[in-house]
Copies of this chain bind each other. A is one copy, B any other.
């Protein structure tokens, strides 16, 4: 069952005051793209916030009119699904810094009339959360039944629940991290170098020059994609199959896994912006909420889920979150799910995963 045809909506969250960011800068105009599914109860106590990962958007469930594919978490959200829209009012917002309707580095700076480019201020995960908080304020939701997110989405949920636990009853973090490893940072750094050192990046003003760092962004995505899947998954899906016959060789794509990566890289160019890629990967590198958010009494009940083949944010990251929460006396459960699909498992449906989400929301 699907939530059916949906539409992305927009609202301005700086109508009463500018948004002051962690870095000290202020944004005078922030618009947010969001979607909602299900019906808010009269008591306003059934709201579930869904936080998207690096390259997600507000369109988490249902179909846009005329579209070929549903939202990115449609297998999780809908009538009778783990995040049951017969029961919950689900809100999904596009992140600050994104490129799918919410204000980001590609938006027009009202102060200059030009796109921000690299003049857009650097973002902290706390800033992403601050914008979502304003969206909920506008929708009249003071307390969430739950907040749910995978990868960077889970990092937002963690930040929020530590900052303002009285507002989130249940937190679900899937394949998340509270602190990237040097290797994680290194991999993101290569992706950013691919973009920023592309001659067509033009210091971030590529749109004004009618060009785009397509080469760099494609390579960044291909690299990232390898880290989102697992060797197990690639073996199962592609094995060593290739176009060329025995004794034949070529330098360009030949193995099926190469064609797949080429497709991933090229199709990404149609849906994502290079500046947003920079601005949304970087907050992950600096993320360290157990060091930056002061300890306080937290009533939120946490559910952590990780996947055994995830090598981008392996189970050790979830265990670290579990230990840090336990140290603060916060209620937390963690389960490692067996899945061949690596980090991407959070978008898929390996056995047991969705049941854990449903159970936690029902507690």
Residues of A within 8 A of B (CB): 22-24, 118, 122, 124, 179, 181-183, 185-187, 189-190, 192-194, 196-200, 215-216, 218-219, 222-223, 226, 230-231, 234-235, 238-240, 247-253, 255, 257-258, 261-262, 265, 278-279, 282-283, 285-286
Assess whether A234 is in contact with B282, with CB atoms less than 8 Å apart.
no
A342 nearest in chain B by CB position: B183
For A230, the chain B residues whose CB sits under 8 A away are: 183
For A124, the chain B residues whose CB sits under 8 A away are: 249
Q: If A198-B215, A199-B199, A258-B189 touch, does A183 touch B226 (CB 8 Å cutoff)?
A: yes
For A226, the chain B residues whose CB sits under 8 A away are: 183, 186-187, 190
Assess whether B198 is in contact with A234, with CB atoms less than 8 Å apart.
no
Q: Give bound CA distance, A239 to B179, whole Å.
A: 12
For A22, the chain B residues whose CB sits under 8 A away are: 247
Tallying the copies of this chain within the complex gives: 2
Assess whether A181 is in contact with B255, with CB atoms less than 8 Å apart.
no
Q: Give bound CA distance, A242 to B162, whole Å.
A: 25
Assess whether A193 is in contact with B265, with CB atoms less than 8 Å apart.
yes
Assess whether B182 is in contact with A251, with CB atoms less than 8 Å apart.
no
Q: Give bound CA distance, A24 to B249, whole Å.
A: 11
Assess whether B286 is in contact with A249, with CB atoms less than 8 Å apart.
yes
What DSSP secondary structure best describes chain A's contact surface? helix
A23 nearest in chain B by CB position: B249
Q: If A22-B247, A198-B215 touch, does A253 touch B189 (CB 8 Å cutoff)?
A: yes
**7 tightest A-B contacts by CB?**
A182-B234, A183-B231, A122-B249, A182-B257, A189-B258, A190-B222, A194-B219
For A223, the chain B residues whose CB sits under 8 A away are: 190, 223
9 contacting pairs across A/B (C-beta < 8 A): A181-B234, A182-B239, A183-B234, A189-B222, A190-B222, A190-B223, A193-B265, A216-B219, A251-B282
For A251, the chain B residues whose CB sits under 8 A away are: 118, 122, 192, 196, 278-279, 282
**Minimum C-beta distance from A298 to chain B (A):** 23
Q: If A193-B218, A197-B219 touch, does A186 touch B282 (CB 8 Å cutoff)?
A: no
Assess whether B234 is in contact with A186, with CB atoms less than 8 Å apart.
yes
**Minimum C-beta distance from A215 to chain B (A):** 5
